[in-house]
A and B are shown apart, each in its own frame.
Chain A
Amino acid sequence: DVKVTQSSRYLVKRTGEKVFLECVQDMDHENMFWYRQDPGLGLRLIYFSYDVKMKEKGDIPEGYSVSREKKERFSLILESASTNQTSMYLCASSRLGQSRETQYFGPGTRLLVL
Chain B
Amino acid sequence: QKEVEQNSGPLSVPEGAIASLNCTYSDRVSQSFFWYRQYSGKSPELIMSIYSNGDKEDGRFTAQLNKASQYVSLLIRDSQPSDSATYLCAVVDSGAGSYQLTFGKGTKLSVIP
Chain A: residues with CB nearer than 8 A to chain B? 31, 33, 40-43, 45, 48, 50, 56, 58, 90, 94, 96-108
With contact pairs A41-B105, A42-B103 given, residues A31 and B43 touching in the complex (Cβ less than 8 Å):
no
| Nearest 3 Cβ contacts at the A-B interface | A42-B105, A105-B43, A50-B98
Chain B: residues with CB nearer than 8 A to chain A? 31-32, 34, 42-46, 49, 51, 88, 90, 92, 94, 97-101, 103-106
Contact assessment for A31 and B45 in the assembled complex, using a CB-CB cutoff below 8 Å: no
B-chain residues with CB within 8 Å of residue A94 when the two chains form the complex: 99
Output the least CB separation between B23 and chain A (Å): 12
A-B contact pairs, 7 of them (CB 8 A): A40-B105, A42-B104, A56-B98, A100-B32, A101-B99, A102-B34, A105-B43
Output the least CB separation between B102 and chain A (Å): 9
A-chain residues with CB within 8 Å of residue B31 when the two chains form the complex: 99
B-chain residues with CB within 8 Å of residue A97 when the two chains form the complex: 99
> How far, in angstroms, from A104 to B34 measured CA to CA in the complex?
12
> How far, in angstroms, from A101 to B45 measured CA to CA in the complex?
14
Cross-interface CB contact of A107 among B43, B94, B105, cutoff 8 Å: B43
Cross-interface CB contact of A108 among B43, B97, B99, B101, cutoff 8 Å: B43
With contact pairs A43-B88, A108-B42 given, residues A48 and B98 touching in the complex (Cβ less than 8 Å):
yes
A-chain residues with CB within 8 Å of residue B99 when the two chains form the complex: 31, 94, 97-99, 101
